[in-house]
């Protein structure tokens, strides 16, 4: 075990959210890096859920039209290794996306197998390194926007875009799937 261990901002935000929202759950920090950032257990420590946490600062575009910008709550940017996602031991990956304008944090929560499936569909199976942009709109929709045209991104901002594999809304603040596992 290392003598000094710190957590990153995303892990802190997830842990703080869990402790506030689910005071009967326990949040554990591993002593070494195994691909699991946080372990959550029920109050009897009988059931557990493992989490991989990814954090991004808010990259809400400042170069678009002010009209489009006001429709976006936050936009985050990540670089992924598809192989790591596919081999992940975590039950869920959580993308932490704080909006510094609205003082609100969005959590995108999904199993790594589903994340890998979507990334393969969106970015192609041959890519080992994946660049991902997730955005959350003020209407509480979540989208993977990397590689979309400006016109498609405008449709997202205004609620008119439809593409089921890019639509991550069902995973936005989807704590229910963790609640079910810990019941």
Could you tell me the pTM of the whole model?
Answer: 0.92
Q: Where are the domains of the chain?
A: 9-182
Q: Where are the beta strands (DSSP E) in the chain?
A: 26-28, 38-41, 48-55, 72-81, 92-99, 104-110, 129-137, 142-144
- Give the residue from 110, 129, 122, 120 showing the smallest Cα distance to 52: 110
> Which one-letter DSSP state was computed for residue 125?
T
Per-residue confidence of the chain (183 residues) as pLDDT tens digits? 454 567 899 999 999 999 999 999 999 999 888 999 999 999 999 999 999 999 998 777 655 555 467 788 888 999 999 999 999 999 999 999 998 777 899 999 999 999 999 999 999 887 789 999 999 999 999 999 999 888 898 888 888 899 999 999 999 999 999 999 999
Tokens of 59: 């990259």
């Amino acid at each position: 075990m290392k003598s000094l261990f710190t957590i990153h901002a995303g892990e802190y935000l997830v842990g703080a959210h869990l402790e506030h929202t689910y005071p009967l759950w326990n949040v554990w920090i591993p002593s070494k890096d195994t691909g699991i950032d946080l372990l959550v257990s029920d109050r009897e420590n009988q059931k557990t859920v493992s989490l991989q946490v990814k954090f991004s600062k808010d990259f809400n575009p400042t170069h678009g039209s002010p009209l489009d910008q006001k429709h976006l709550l936050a936009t985050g940017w990540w670089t992924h290794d598809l192989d790591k996602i596919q081999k992940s031991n975590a039950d869920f990956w959580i993308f932490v996306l704080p909006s510094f304008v609205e003082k609100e944090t969005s959590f995108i929560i999904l199993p790594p197998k589903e994340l890998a499936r979507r990334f393969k569909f969106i970015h192609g199976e041959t890519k080992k390194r994946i660049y991902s942009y997730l955005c959350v709109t003020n209407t509480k929709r979540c989208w993977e926007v990397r590689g979309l045209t400006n016109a498609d991104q405008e449709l997202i901002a205004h609620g008119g875009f439809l593409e089921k594999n890019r639509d991550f809304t069902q995973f936005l603040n989807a704590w229910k799937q963790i609640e079910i596992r810990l019941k």
